Amino acid sequence: MITRQYAILLIVVGILLTACAQSDNQAESVVKKKPNILFIMSDDHAYQAISAYSNHLTETPNIDRIAKEGMLFTNACVTNSICAPSRAVILTGKHSHLNGKIDNMFPFDTTNITFPQLLQNAGYQTAMFGKLHFGNNPKGFDEFQILPGQGTYYNPDFITKQHGKVRETGYTTDIITDKTLNWLKTERKEEEPFLLMYLHKAPHREWLPPERHYKNFTKKIFPEPSTLFDDYEGRGSAAKEAEMNLLTHMNWAGDSKIRPEVMDELGIPETAKWDKGAYKREVGRQNEAQRAKWDAVYDPINEDFKKRFPTMTEKEKMQWRYQRYMQDYLGSIAAVDDGVGEVLDYLEESGLAENTIVVYTSDQGFYLGEHGWFDKRFIYDESFKTPLMVKWPNVIKPNQINTTMVQNLDFAQTFLDAAGVAAPADMQGESLVPLMKGEAENFREAVYYHYYEYPSVHMVKRHYAIVTEEYKLAHFYFDVDEWELYDRKKDGNEMKNVYHEPAYAEVVIELKEKLAAMRVKYKDSKELDQKYIDMYAEKMKGTKWWK
Ligand code: SGN
Ligand code: CA
């Protein structure tokens, strides 16, 4: 016979056990609730070429889905507008002068702690596919397949974690998409949250679209930017001396896809000494079948050019180049948009979308003929700002537009915050999660910028700067000592340096103080500027950049 006391004890134990089991279940569901993170980044994708921002150039319906279902950031920017340094800032949450990856030349210092390592330690399954451009392999990834260096548009090589170097046949953007989808479908573990980095090489120079898009895009005509014929008056020597002009610095063969033989026939010299080489490297990499399709479209363009070139004015050459540039650049983006659509579709079909943060961004912005330029590097808006949109169902409401100044510096802390993982104290960004929830006020007053790679390709001088919503104050240094100030509200195209205008004297004093304080806050200094000049000199000694 069970005594009454014993029966009560059993009931109490039963209740306690049930309560424990329930809280275990709750704990489990909390663990399960950690969001997946799909980080999509393309290379050199200008916000001017995303229809969520403006459709004056092209439509990107799939990329736009992310903005429609979530938040579009209209003032996202980078800390250093160049490829590998931007990626290093994203992974480490630290400015270039602290993570050490100041330019594209030096390999990334792998003793840096990156957010993927921290997520992996916290139980995330991690994978990376596409372009990294670090000079070494990424740490903190269960799986990676990355392009060596810049990669190529057709028949790319990949450095893989499992099988060493492999060569694939096909179009690189599509292959990176397939690898990403394949991992989601076959490698992803049900029981762990994931971090998936899906990193396109496109639309990086030399802009080779796939057949399905070059067939159409080569027939299109695009509106010219109002500053296409900028003469750089009213600005400092940096803009005047930069080598990014469509007419004078873009390659005829490599970039505009004029056959080297046609250049010879017309007596056109190479723009840069790798002009014809770049054509051979990219177009020349296609196999016979790919090349036949390519020639069917690009040969008639060459024939037409042969007829026109002898009588073309400089202005007409510039206009012709701009159209050719946009056709290939935007055609390459159309393939990125296709890939993004496929991956978003799969997230929906598989039910993963519900608990997945999806980010679309670029490693920096790009000039699409504004100021007569291509490329990036400068603090002027087209390359300083970068596209950014994020969807996170149940956290970010659909169709949000956020105008706050956010930076690529903020990603690491944002993802750690979303995953409930503590960020190291020396990371320098801010979590964007409060902004995404619509909770943050007084987020940030100004951002800091520092570009280093000079002298180098495109010859953009070293400069550091402070940017507020109203102003941009930049100091160009090393072989010059020049300041530029832009009134962002009055001069959106940044055509007039007002640094020397008496009306702005007060603004200059105030911003210089703030800039000095920012350099202290972020631990940048004259000593570090000099250290990086000395390192660069050592590395580049004897090259054409450093005699
Ligand atoms: C190559 C390009 C440059 C470009 C750099 C860096 N020339 O050198 O135009 O600025 O890469 O780009 S190319 O003719 O070889 O394509 S980055 O995106 O990697 O920073
Ligand atoms: Ca880039």
Rounded distance from Cα 206 to ligand 1 centre (Å): 9
Provide, for the chain, the percentages of residues in helix, strand and coil under a 3-state DSSP scheme, each rounded to the nearest 5. 40, 15, 45
Half-sphere exposure of 65 (CA within 13 A, CB side): 17
Q: Are residues 144 and 219 in the same domain?
A: no
Rounded distance from Cα 82 to ligand 2 centre (Å): 6
Residue whose structure tokens are 């006391």:
5
CATH number where 139 lies: 3.40.720.10
- pLDDT band with cut points at 50, 70 and 90 for residue 4: low
Q: Are residues 268 and 385 in the same domain?
A: no
Rounded distance from Cα 286 to ligand 1 centre (Å): 20
End-to-end CA distance of the chain: 100
Give backbone dihedrals phi and psi of 431, rounded to 5 degrees, phi first: -65, 135
Task: List the residue whose alpha carbon is closest to atom 20 of ligand 1.
Answer: 83
pLDDT tens digits, 471-522: 999 999 999 999 999 999 999 999 999 999 999 999 999 999 999 999 999 9
Q: Are residues 346 and 283 in the same domain?
A: no
Task: List the residue whose alpha carbon is closest to atom 19 of ligand 1.
Answer: 83
Rg (CA), the chain: 26
Residue 114 lies in a domain: yes
Ligand found nearest the CA of 200: 2
* Alpha carbons 29 and 32: distance in angstroms, whole number: 5
Q: CA-CA distances (angstroms) from residue 340 to 42, 91, 114?
A: 10, 22, 25
The enclosing H or E element of 475 equals strand 471-476
Strand partners, 475: 464, 483
Residue 9 lies in a domain: no
- pLDDT band with cut points at 50, 70 and 90 for residue 99: very high
Between strands 125-131 and 482-487, the pairing is: unpaired
* Alpha carbons 53 and 84: distance in angstroms, whole number: 25
Q: What is the mean pLDDT of the chain?
A: 95
Give per-residue burial for 265-301: e unless 16+ CB within 10 Å, then b: eeebebbbeebbbbbeebbeebeeebeeebeebbeeb
Residue 455 lies in a domain: no
Residue 536 lies in a domain: no
Rounded distance from Cα 285 to ligand 1 centre (Å): 18
Q: Return the SS3 of 451.
A: strand
Per the structure, the complete domain to which residue 278 belongs is given by 211-325
* Alpha carbons 79 and 450: distance in angstroms, whole number: 6
Domain boundary residue among 441, 469, 492?
A: 441
* pLDDT value for 7: 55
- pLDDT band with cut points at 50, 70 and 90 for residue 11: low
* Alpha carbons 132 and 147: distance in angstroms, whole number: 7
Q: Are residues 48 and 168 in the same domain?
A: yes
| Predicted confidence (pLDDT) at residue 22 exceeds the cutoff of 60 | no
Q: Are residues 249 and 264 in the same domain?
A: yes
The closest-lying atom of ligand 1 relative to the alpha carbon of residue 150 is 19
Rounded distance from Cα 45 to ligand 2 centre (Å): 8
Q: Which of 244, 285, 457, 545 to mutate to test the pocket of ligand 1 (most atoms within 8 A of CB)?
A: 457
Residue 32 lies in a domain: no
* pLDDT value for 28: 46
Task: List the residue whose alpha carbon is closest to atom 7 of ligand 1.
Answer: 205
Rounded distance from Cα 511 to ligand 2 centre (Å): 29
Query: Can you list the positions of beta strands (E) in 108-193?
Result: 125-131, 143-147, 157-160, 164-167
Q: CA-CA distances (angstroms) from residue 174 to 147, 202, 209, 453?
A: 13, 10, 11, 31
pLDDT tens digits, 348-383: 999 999 999 999 999 999 999 999 999 999 999 999
Domain count, the chain: 2
Residue 240 lies in a domain: yes
pLDDT tens digits, 46-60: 999 999 999 999 999
Task: Give the DSSP letter of residue 285.
Answer: G
* Alpha carbons 161 and 172: distance in angstroms, whole number: 18
The closest-lying atom of ligand 1 relative to the alpha carbon of residue 133 is 19
Task: List the residue whose alpha carbon is closest to atom 5 of ligand 1.
Answer: 457
* pLDDT value for 33: 85
- pLDDT band with cut points at 50, 70 and 90 for residue 413: very high
* pLDDT value for 441: 82
Domain boundary residue among 410, 441, 472?
A: 441
| Predicted confidence (pLDDT) at residue 31 exceeds the cutoff of 70 | no
The closest-lying atom of ligand 1 relative to the alpha carbon of residue 254 is 14
The closest-lying atom of ligand 1 relative to the alpha carbon of residue 251 is 14
Q: Are residues 82 and 195 in the same domain?
A: yes
* pLDDT value for 98: 98
The closest-lying atom of ligand 1 relative to the alpha carbon of residue 83 is 20
The closest-lying atom of ligand 1 relative to the alpha carbon of residue 206 is 16
Question: What does the CA dihedral 278, 282, 284, 287 come to, rounded to 10 degrees?
Answer: 170
Q: Which residues line ligand 1 (CB under 6 A)?
A: 43-44, 82-83, 104, 133, 150, 204-206, 254, 278, 375, 457-458
Average pLDDT over residues 243-249: 98
